[in-house]
Structure 1
Amino acid sequence: MSEPRARRRTTGDEPRARRPTAGEEPRRRRTAEEEPAEPPRRRRAAEEEAQPRGGADDDSPSTARGPRRGAARIGAPEAASRAAAHVRTMTGRSPEGVTSLERTEDGWRVGVEVLESRRVPDSTDILAECTVELDGDGELLSFRRASRYYRGRAGQEDQS
């Protein structure tokens, strides 16, 4: 068993909350409208890579982070979301989830899992892995169904 916590005794010497003086309005909490604007965002990686590093005669394409990749102007979460939306548009089926995400020289390559055939029990559902390539702005470059498989058995492909 734990011992009860001792109550803190005050001696009267502790500082108290400051009270407003005559003619001064009391402080109040800020409302949502009064909150300061968001702090300035950090520069995105593409912007940082576009900035030259080193001396004026340094014309190498690499930076401290590695080779330049200015093509991808959207981030990974946005690329995944847009890829899922493109799959929904192309197939008419709702994506189950994003299975892979890779930045490429031209933009993004995203793997999206789609439910192709719902069955009972659901362990016999047929899923498809679709590969979507997006440009740096998230626009569709290519779409293909890479494989089909029963739910829970990703190693067995092309089931009907």
Structure 2
Amino acid sequence: MTVSHEERPHEERHREERSRQEVHREERPRDPERERPPRRPALDARGAARRAAHHVAQLTGRDPEGVTSLEHREDGWAIGIEVVETHRIPDSTDILAEYRVELDDHGELVTYRRTERYPRGRAENRT
């Protein structure tokens, strides 16, 4: 007695299908680019900003005021961090600075530099 395709147990049909797929896969040439999952950074934007602020605080001894820019690049992150360099009274005349920090995808510091220094009261006029 022969058993039709529909009457065979589901598991047996599933095994045969997987076997056919494996044979088909072996016949195709391997393309490592297609097999590699899409590259995701180990660090998300929020984590990169926190790490950059931490690095600036450690290097300058000053608490960051905020993040002024954030850019994900192929090899990591570029972040602008603003700090108060000189406190004055009134605080609207504080001297601020922006630091540009580059991190790798794991949050390790690659580069760091102060890119700008300006009085708080004139910060919105910067270019």
TM-score by length of 1: 0.54
Which residue of the other structure, out of 56, 59, 62, is the alignment partner of 1:87?
A: 56
Distance change (3 Å), C-alpha of 1:101 and 1:58: farther
Where in structure 1 are there 5+ consecutive unaligned residues?
1-55, 63-67
- Asked if 2 retains the 8 angstrom alpha-carbon contact of 1:93 and 1:116, the reply is yes
The answer to whether 1:114 aligns with 2:83 is yes
- Which residue in the other structure is 2:72 paired with? 103
Structure 1 CA distance, aligned partners of 2:72 and 2:30?
Answer: 26
State the shift of 1:98 in Å: 0.7
**How far off is 1:75 after superposition?**
0.6
Identity value in percent: 55
Instruction: Pick the structure with more strand per residue.
Output: 2
Which amino acid counterpart does residue 102 of structure 1 have in structure 2?
E
Task: State the shift of 1:89 in Å.
Answer: 0.5
Question: What does residue 116 of structure 2 align with?
Answer: 147
User: Cα–Cα, structure 1 residues 58 and 118, in superposed 2: closer, same or farther, change >3 Å?
Assistant: farther
Equivalent-residue separation in structure 2 for 1:118 and 1:69 (angstroms): 46
> Between Structure 1 and Structure 2, which shows a larger proportion of helix residues?
2
* Alignment-mate amino acid for residue 153 of structure 1: R
Equivalent AA in structure 2 for residue 151 of structure 1: R
Q: How much has 1:111 moved relative to structure 2?
A: 0.5
Cα distance, 1:71 vs. partner? 6.5
What SS is found at the alignment partner of 1:152?
Answer: helix
Kindly state the Cα deviation for residue 105 of structure 1 after the two structures are TM-superposed. 1.2
Moved over 4 A (4+): 56-62
Equivalent residues of 1:108, 1:136 under 8 A apart:
yes
- Mapped to 2, the partners of 1:144 and 1:71 lie a distance apart of 27
Question: What is the alpha-carbon root mean square deviation over aligned residues?
Answer: 2.5
1:126 paired with 2:120, answer no
* Matching of residues 1-160 of structure 1 within 5 Å: 70=39, 72-154=41-123, 155-156=125-126
TM-score by length of 2: 0.67
The count of residues paired between Structure 1 and Structure 2 equals 97
In structure 2, relative to structure 1, the CA distance for the partners of 1:59 and 1:90 (3 Å cut) is same
